[in-house]
Amino acid sequence: MMLGNPDVRQRLSLTAQGRVRYALKTPYRDGTTHVVFEPLDFLSRLAALVPAPGVNLTRFHGVFASNHRLRARIVPGRDSGVAQAERATPGRAATDHRGHRGHRGPGGHREDPAPPGPGGGGASGR
């Protein structure tokens, strides 16, 4: 079993019935010192701790947040920060790198408002 911390390896063991036994670092208030799981239940709990691919583990708040209107003035980007900030004025809808307006999809990524139609253009006739 490959686990990063050697202390964790020492706290994991298998019972005679084939269950996973985890010794707690510090006992619970009720005196519990070990937790016993079925192997599949243990793996499902362990897998829940692994972040999804592409998920950013660092969260930014305030002007460092990705959608803050003043972020371009603080964080250097592809364009000069001032030019980017002037384009994203508070009264104007945000645009992507092509200048198209879009909305955030299920994964939080910007999507076009309508897919291209049969004529090659979007529903808005771009």
Could you tell me if 41 and 10 lie in one domain? yes
Domain match, 62 and 34 both: no
Residue 36 in contact with residue 21, Cβ under 8 Å?
yes
Identify the burial level of 84 via C-beta atoms within 10 angstroms of its C-beta, where 0-12 means exposed, 13-18 middle and 19 or more buried: middle
Quick one: pLDDT at residue 36? 97
Which domain does 11 fall in, by range?
6-48
Alpha-carbon dihedral 64, 68, 69, 74, rounded to 10 degrees = 0
- Domain count across the chain: 2
In a domain, 31, yes or no: yes
| Residue 14 within a domain | yes
- 66, part of any domain: yes
**Average pLDDT of the chain to the nearest whole number:** 74
In terms of domains, do 11 and 43 share one? yes
| Neighbour order of strands in the sheet with 34-37 | 12-14, 20-23, 34-37
What confidence tens digit (pLDDT) does each residue in 74-109 have?
A: 888 765 545 555 555 555 555 555 555 555 555 555
